[in-house]
Structure 1
């Protein structure tokens, strides 16, 4: 019998809880599945966990990328999202893909998601070098969320943000939107297809 660490137990508990969350509670849209035609987001400047300013498109061009929106002060669904990406990261380390697999957590609270908070977020979920976190400028939050979701009707409260995962190909084109709080296997399967 394998000995479970505290981290294994917490991960299993969080994933089980994520599976039990009603999708209608966090659903922002009806847009999920393949994105046809693919979408290129408006290129905006972002600040990453090191305090470096980069463009979103440059980050997305570093490989095939799974994106999630979070805010570091969240104590409800964001920890579940972090656990989800932690499991995707672990599984995709063994994946053989033509392009590198990247993970990107986009902070949607420009006043709270400062570099130190983004670093702490990544540390909390044992992020490796292929998982980055960035914050959007205040003027870019709604536009980027709208483009990701494919819907102009977004909740005004940041706490009601989407828990979808968005997958981009190596040309920085949005190719797939998940349902809210998707299964780890589903995200990994899409990344695997995009990585061929």
Structure 2
């Protein structure tokens, strides 16, 4: 899989997997079913805009790896601190309830984030092209040096007047 930034993918999924696996330890066992989907969505949210190529496979990989890390961390804690029978029952419950959730979030969530990101990038490119065309048309003879003036002209706003009045300024100096 050429073009994937493996280090970034592994660090993101590792950190979010650890967080979502350790949070239920402090909040309560039932919160695994809440923290896991949230961490998976955040992992996809963090990865998709930063990866340039192969966005969908990267997002799916990271969400699945986040889920695996979270489940492993949580059940290592369960088997280390709880009774083996209780930990085994919790593991069986998680293995029957979580795979479908993980699969849906991994595939559908990643797909939604990738398509949203592509749409956003396309709209941003169109907006920037329109702004450049407008600036090129407007600024052929003028040069705008200050960034605030550029921003105002880009937005189509008038320049700021600190104390606008209805009276118009009239030059009182005599012409020579």
TM-score by length of 1: 0.23
TM-score by length of 2: 0.25
From the two aligned structures, give the one with the greater helix fraction: 2
From the two aligned structures, give the one with the greater strand fraction: 1
Structure having greater relative contact order (Cα 8 Å, sep ≥ 6): 1
Larger Rg: 2
